Structure 1
Amino acid sequence: MTRPRSLVAAVAAASLTVGALMAAPAAVAAPPGRGTPVVTRAGLDPALVEGRGADVAFLEQEAENAVTNGTIIGRGREAYTIEAEASGRSAVRLTAGQYVEFTLPASANALTVRYSIPDAPNGGGLTAPLAVKVGPHTASLKMTSEYAYLYNQYPFTNDPNAGLLHPDWWLAECACVPQFDQPDFEPAKPFRPMKFYDEERLLLHKTYKAGETVRLTAPAGVAWTVIDLIDTELVGKPYVKLKASNVLVFGADPTARKDSAAAFERAIAFAQKVGLTVYVPPGRYRVERHIVVDDVTIEGAGHWYTTVFGSEVALATPAPDGSTHTGVGFYGKDAAAGGSTDVHLRGFAIEGDVRARIDTDQVNAIGGAFHDSSFSELHIQHTKVGLWFDGPMSNVVVEDNIIVDQIADALNFHIGVTDSVARNNFVRNSGDDALAMWAEAKGGTALTNARNTFERNTVQTPTLANGIAIYGGTDNTVSGNLVADTIREGSALHAGSRFGAHPFAGTLTFRDNTTVRAGTRELNWNIGMGSLWIYALEGSISGIRVTGDHYLDSTYNAIMLVSEWGVKDLYSMTDVSFADLRIDGTGTSVLSARVEGGASFENVDARGVGAVGINNCGSFGFPPTGSEFSVADLGGNDGGGTTGPWMAAWELPNTITCDDRPPVVAPPAPSPWGQP
């Protein structure tokens, strides 16, 4: 979503700082030889996250667990580093001729490689072939960094040599506003590099049995290649629908030599007239503008076989909505026109060509407003936002999709979205919040997001902001999700009174979610965030229920409740409860409270806690009566760590235990739960 210019320079004056992040171990070389496949989910043993996240057709293998003659890098978590953006915070670096070799854990005929190669010296990216050998057969996979590498301050640039985009903003690197305080300050270049990874898919056209090897060998054309992971999959035959409005009949070109937008529109118009589904057979179809859809079903042969793609096209004059570009996308009618109804898209890939972040541009894979509609079994890559919905709209289902390598969000329910659900989606490498509900009160609208659910989704490595974020709204639910490896200015799970959103009302429920290696160092505040972050910036917050969540290997705190320094005496948190949680390892505390109000805890079991269990600063008034934030112990709160029980009797009900610089203690790796 659109970011503000900064979190507020006044935070620096509040001395909200924390010690350095845990140091990464030195890189080591792995010995070559045959290996046993190590299948993971979010970089962990799948048993540790069972029942959480999306059910997917592929099996994940991390490169650091494979056989290689390259160098294992990681496990650092500091932003702007290539290891921090790797799944599991580790990967394998290769030079020309070096390899990573995986062993297939099950029969497969398709694979996805997540990788990184350098940017061009002046930006814009490089391309290079990756040699792929499966059993005795060889193939080549095209790697590119054309869709990677953002630099500098929001909204970022593709130029690694650019000076500060906003010298009038607070800058953590100098603890100043350069334009006014240090006009000669010049940060090192490239400044704040991020978004190092991309991924590419390869359909092998032959099924290989379990036990066959997949060797990836680095090319000579680039200085280095980093392999993060591969996903292997057994893809079925293309889906065929004979009784349909076939786009080929209306002139669509499956070889991509000519634009097929008009042919798609003719096929849609015919389908609407006679009541048929639009069918898009196997092929690559070039579409370089929006296709407006209403009262229609469009089906592909499967996202491995049918791809709709297009270049980003500059507009001669800006559109009324402010867009300066267009590109491939399927859009509902504008909400002001009532939106579109009964739209169903499934079974194809959408590939964009978005390389820079321009927030006014409508260059999303799917956009507009919809009612009674569904979007499923899509593969979305290289657009600005995978699915950005501008309501009011209702009864929308987003399920079973793969959304990767976005410049901004993967999915955003924006303005008056009601009774809708996103479930069983897999998201990796979003450039902002992966999944968001943003109940923006735009134009004074009284419509808010209500009764929506994010359920059983997997989110990995969002390069900015949060895994799942809820900004205002009424009676929304986040349940059964798996979120891993948040990197910068965000948390795995977030509820925020911010960005002009409607206040929270009713109950916001977080239930049975698992977070892994989550919570980041907030650069401007210079403090460690929680795996769950609740933020009262523009109003007080109440009615939060958190039950059954598991927070594994939290980089800093498991839970952080905070207000902004400038409004700390205006807003509070009340009616917030936590129950039946498992907290397996924190770099610092179980709870960091930096706000007025209170919360209750019941049956919260913790182990491997690195600092004092409750870091209670309240609203920093430090009254003699105790903290302005009270903790209610409802019983069953067990376990702890280096300083003893996390819910120590001497911390209750509101003992001040404020420490802005708690030492960060790397916890042991998550393991099966026994006694805390």
Structure 2
Amino acid sequence: MSTPTQPLAAAFAVVLGLSTLLAAGPAGAAPASPTKVTRAALDPALVAGRGADLGFTEQEAENAVTDGTVVGPGTDAYTLPAEASGRSAVTLKPGQYVQFTLPAATNAITVRYSIPDAPNGGGITAPLDVAVNGHDHHTMTLTSQYAWLYNEYPFSNDPNAGPLNPDWWTTECSCVPDQTTPEPVFPTPFRANHFYDEERLALGRTYRAGDVIRLTAPLGTTAAATTIDLMDSQLVAAPKVDLKAVNVLLFGADPTGRRDSADAIDRAIAFAHLVHLPVYIPPGTFQVSRHIIVDDVTIEGAGNWYTIIKGHQVTLSAPAPDGSVHTGVGFYGKDASAGGSHNVHLSGFAIEGDVRERIDTDQVNGIGGALSDSSIEGLYIQHTKVGIWLDGPMSHLTIADNQIADQIADGINFHTGVTNSAVRNNFVRNTGDDGLAMWSDKTADSNDVFDHNTVQTPVLANGIALYGGTDLTVSDNLVADPIREGSALQIGSRFGAVPFGGTITVADNTTVRAGTFELNWKIGLGAIWIYALEHSIDANIQVTGDDFLDNTYNAIMMVSDFPVKDLYSITNVHFSNIKVDGTGTSVVSARAAGGATFQNVVARNVGAVGVNNCGSFHFTPAGSEFALTDLGGNTGGGTTGPWLASWELPNTITCDDRPAVVPPPAPSVWP
């Protein structure tokens, strides 16, 4: 057995080695003009003050130098352009490259990419050559093992699979058999989606602005095509060292990842309770393939580029009481039914899971359970089912400064009675469901805030969604490129959620390239859509100061599903100080009974008549069942005239169920 000094010496060796790896002195070629820097594929001036700032810089491949092929722009679901940031990417054949010129000092990069699936599913791996200034070479190993889902919900990894649920009505498809057709015509592979993944690389030294990074699909690659979406670059700080904390190496944790470290981390936590100190996980890769239960403890890593908690998904011998059939790496508070956990503080490490299929009963999330009076800060979470899924009742949790990428389902979900909690300055990309959600299932979430977060490319559902709840705030967020069956922002009465109450505030957010095509309804959605499916929506909803940019269809939608349109209405909604820059169709689409007020809503580049007011589709002599109230200052429009024309008020029927789409020009700075 090692003496206590030996693990500490190993820890310092790892710290010093990785510190040198990421933070060595500058070198490189003469400065050159940087590849265009963007945020959500936009000029940063258009989103100033909105979204998260985690210290990295985004450069889109379509703006870089390449001998490959630019794909897109395009918004059709189940295509590579639609799932790309900015709706465009670059596809490389073997031997081709895409080249970025750095805008600032950099020692680490993240590449978002897509490579093909294996012919029978399960993914492949392929190399990507990374050269800096033409001579410093690295090799990234790309994988599609966590990508490529098929079929109907909850999806399959098998491109050859038939109907997952033969008795279900299959959405988005004319392949459902009628009573006289015994078998459906079910093409395979059916509805391939969730194409992209990302890989991080420490460059081994610090390069300066003007240095050139070339990504090349080598001639010997196993990938017939390598699609590069973007590259993020950053200057990662030196690792954090805490000599006063309880170091997990002293309890047998293995920083090489060869042996499982779960029991060692448990022992370190138990000792930390006795001595009232935090737990420190130093640089290294620590294998953990089950939940680490946390309560009244602080666990800190050296930084999420240095301390990696990585695990395999493990099949349970029998289903757990909660329905799980697998377990995997995750940090979990105690269940709310057992009182939950309190005073838990997690920071400075990465959680890398091994989830490749969506099984909704599985508890294979990066963070789970109930965590009150707690904080989650500075984590990088990838390849889990949901990055952070909290089951209340619980209160006073802060989630800040995290990156969550490549999830099978949600990024962050406040589920059931989460109160007085905040999600701030988090970056969420490539989720398989809502990026950020508050779901008031049976018990209301209340007094919660989603503030200054960035959500990009949710493949399914919405960027930010509120499902019931009381006194909730969504502010200063940036949401870009939702892909299907959802949009940027939703306020929805659905999924068994309790009704909305109090004041729901949606303030100072920016959405871009939202307003997707709803593949089941066959209509375009709004960048923000308010959806009355299970209850009327009559809480005080204040939508103010938001910018809706480059809307594929509508900017604003109020809708009730057709079977319940005469049961539920939408009222007490107030829009003010809104900018709409570009709509494929209208500014407002009303497909429900009720009404809303509008004040200082300015619009330009509107593709169709400003208001598409169908009400609840009864087309009464008195007009639409949805009333628009003009409180003044509503200006601008498009080729058809002012977006809110006097003749449309208060409830003129202007119903064009599926208006022609006029793609808007790229957004620009408002004069």
- State TM-score, norm by structure 2: 0.94
Three-state SS of the structure 1 residue aligned to 2:647 is: helix
Determine if the alignment matches structure 1 residue 613 to structure 2 residue 610.
Answer: yes
**Contact 1:60/1:230 (<8 A) preserved:** yes
Sequence identity percentage:
68
Question: Deviations 1:638-664 (Å, cap 9, x if unpaired)?
Answer: 000121110011111100001112000
**Contact 2:38/2:60 (<8 A) preserved:** yes
Question: Deviations 1:373-418 (Å, cap 9, x if unpaired)?
Answer: 0000000000000000000000000000000000000100000000
- Give 5+ residue unaligned stretches, structure 1: 1-33, 442-446
Three-state SS of the structure 1 residue aligned to 2:570 is: strand
Residue 448 of structure 1 corresponds to: 444
Question: Deviations 1:480-531 (Å, cap 9, x if unpaired)?
Answer: 0000000000010001000000100001110000000012111111111110
Three-state SS of the structure 2 residue aligned to 1:436 is: strand
Three-state SS of the structure 2 residue aligned to 1:64 is: helix
Three-state SS of the structure 1 residue aligned to 2:45 is: helix
Residue 318 of structure 1: how far off its partner (Å): 0.4
Residue 264 of structure 1: how far off its partner (Å): 0.2
Residue 211 of structure 1 corresponds to: 210
Question: Deviations 1:607-644 (Å, cap 9, x if unpaired)?
Answer: 01101100000001110010000000000000001211
Residue 186 of structure 1: how far off its partner (Å): 1.8
Residue 172 of structure 1: how far off its partner (Å): 4.9
Determine if the alignment matches structure 1 residue 486 to structure 2 residue 482.
Answer: yes
- State TM-score, norm by structure 1: 0.93
Measured in 1, the distance between the counterparts of 2:563 and 2:631 equals 32
Question: Deviations 1:308-347 (Å, cap 9, x if unpaired)?
Answer: 0100000000000000000000000010111000000000
Q: 1:207 to 1:496 in 2, by over 3 A?
A: same
Equivalent residue letter for 2:399: V
Residue 281 of structure 1 corresponds to: 282
Measured in 1, the distance between the counterparts of 2:86 and 2:526 equals 18
Equivalent residue letter for 2:101: T
Measured in 2, the distance between the counterparts of 1:449 and 1:290 equals 25
Equivalent residue letter for 2:42: L
Choose which of 572, 590, 597 in structure 2 pairs with 1:575.
572
Residue 145 of structure 1 corresponds to: 144
Measured in 2, the distance between the counterparts of 1:318 and 1:638 equals 59
Three-state SS of the structure 2 residue aligned to 1:601 is: strand
Measured in 2, the distance between the counterparts of 1:524 and 1:580 equals 32
Q: 1:202 to 1:191 in 2, by over 3 A?
A: same
Matched length: 636
Determine if the alignment matches structure 1 residue 589 to structure 2 residue 586.
Answer: yes
Equivalent residue letter for 2:73: R
Equivalent residue letter for 1:74: G
- Give 5+ residue unaligned stretches, structure 2: 1-31
Residue 197 of structure 1: how far off its partner (Å): 0.3
Residue 42 of structure 1 corresponds to: 40
Three-state SS of the structure 1 residue aligned to 2:399 is: strand
Q: What is the RMSD of the two structures over their aligned residues, measured on CA atoms? A: 1.0
Residue 635 of structure 1 corresponds to: 632
**Contact 1:395/1:419 (<8 A) preserved:** yes
Question: Deviations 1:40-82 (Å, cap 9, x if unpaired)?
Answer: 0000000000000001210000000000000001001011001
Measured in 1, the distance between the counterparts of 2:493 and 2:263 equals 43
Measured in 2, the distance between the counterparts of 1:119 and 1:291 equals 33
Summarize the alignment of residues 495-534 of structure 1 with structure 2, pairs less than 5 Å apart.
495-534=491-530
Residue 100 of structure 1 corresponds to: 98
Question: Deviations 1:64-111 (Å, cap 9, x if unpaired)?
Answer: 000000000100101100110000000000000000000000010000
**Contact 2:175/2:185 (<8 A) preserved:** no
Q: 1:383 to 1:179 in 2, by over 3 A?
A: farther
Measured in 2, the distance between the counterparts of 1:484 and 1:190 equals 28
Residue 188 of structure 1 corresponds to: 187
Summarize the alignment of residues 81-230 of structure 1 with structure 2, pairs less than 5 Å apart.
81-135=79-133, 136-172=135-171, 174-175=173-174, 177-178=176-177, 180=179, 182-219=181-218, 220-230=221-231
Question: Deviations 1:552-579 (Å, cap 9, x if unpaired)?
Answer: 0001000110001111111111111000
Measured in 1, the distance between the counterparts of 2:197 and 2:402 equals 18
**Contact 2:154/2:358 (<8 A) preserved:** yes
Residue 166 of structure 1: how far off its partner (Å): 2.7
Residue 466 of structure 1: how far off its partner (Å): 0.1
Residue 448 of structure 1: how far off its partner (Å): 1.3
Choose which of 30, 52, 55 in structure 2 pairs with 1:54.
52
**Contact 2:129/2:216 (<8 A) preserved:** yes
Question: Deviations 1:251-275 (Å, cap 9, x if unpaired)?
Answer: 0000011000000000000111111
Choose which of 607, 623, 626 in structure 2 pairs with 1:626.
623
Q: 1:179 to 1:259 in 2, by over 3 A?
A: farther
Equivalent residue letter for 1:139: H
Residue 10 of structure 2 corresponds to: none
**Contact 1:476/1:508 (<8 A) preserved:** yes
Residue 36 of structure 1: how far off its partner (Å): 3.8
**Contact 1:290/1:330 (<8 A) preserved:** yes
Residue 35 of structure 1: how far off its partner (Å): 6.3
Determine if the alignment matches structure 1 residue 255 to structure 2 residue 256.
Answer: yes
**Contact 1:329/1:367 (<8 A) preserved:** yes
Summarize the alignment of residues 260-659 of structure 1 with structure 2, pairs less than 5 Å apart.
260-441=261-442, 447-542=443-538, 543-659=540-656
Three-state SS of the structure 1 residue aligned to 2:258 is: strand
Equivalent residue letter for 2:201: L
Three-state SS of the structure 1 residue aligned to 2:396 is: strand
Residue 193 of structure 1: how far off its partner (Å): 0.6
Equivalent residue letter for 2:453: N
Which consecutive segments of 4 or more residues in structure 1 shift more than 6 A?
none
Three-state SS of the structure 2 residue aligned to 1:262 is: helix
Question: Deviations 1:457-492 (Å, cap 9, x if unpaired)?
Answer: 000000000000000000000000000000000010
Equivalent residue letter for 2:212: T
Residue 5 of structure 2 corresponds to: none
Choose which of 78, 81, 93 in structure 2 pairs with 1:80.
78
Measured in 2, the distance between the counterparts of 1:561 and 1:175 equals 27
**Contact 1:169/1:178 (<8 A) preserved:** no
Measured in 2, the distance between the counterparts of 1:609 and 1:173 equals 28
Measured in 2, the distance between the counterparts of 1:173 and 1:117 equals 25
**Contact 2:175/2:186 (<8 A) preserved:** no
Equivalent residue letter for 2:297: V
**Contact 1:167/1:178 (<8 A) preserved:** no
Residue 163 of structure 1: how far off its partner (Å): 1.2
**Contact 2:588/2:611 (<8 A) preserved:** yes
**Contact 1:168/1:178 (<8 A) preserved:** no
Measured in 2, the distance between the counterparts of 1:646 and 1:168 equals 45
**Contact 2:176/2:185 (<8 A) preserved:** no
Question: Deviations 1:174-225 (Å, cap 9, x if unpaired)?
Answer: 5463264644432322111100000000011200011010000013321100
Residue 173 of structure 1: how far off its partner (Å): 5.1
Residue 164 of structure 1: how far off its partner (Å): 1.8
Equivalent residue letter for 1:153: E
Residue 165 of structure 1: how far off its partner (Å): 1.6
Measured in 1, the distance between the counterparts of 2:455 and 2:178 equals 38
Deviating more after overlay: 163-172 vs 329-338: 163-172
Three-state SS of the structure 2 residue aligned to 1:631 is: strand
Question: Deviations 1:410-444 (Å, cap 9, x if unpaired)?
Answer: 10000000000000000000000010000001xxx
Equivalent residue letter for 1:204: L
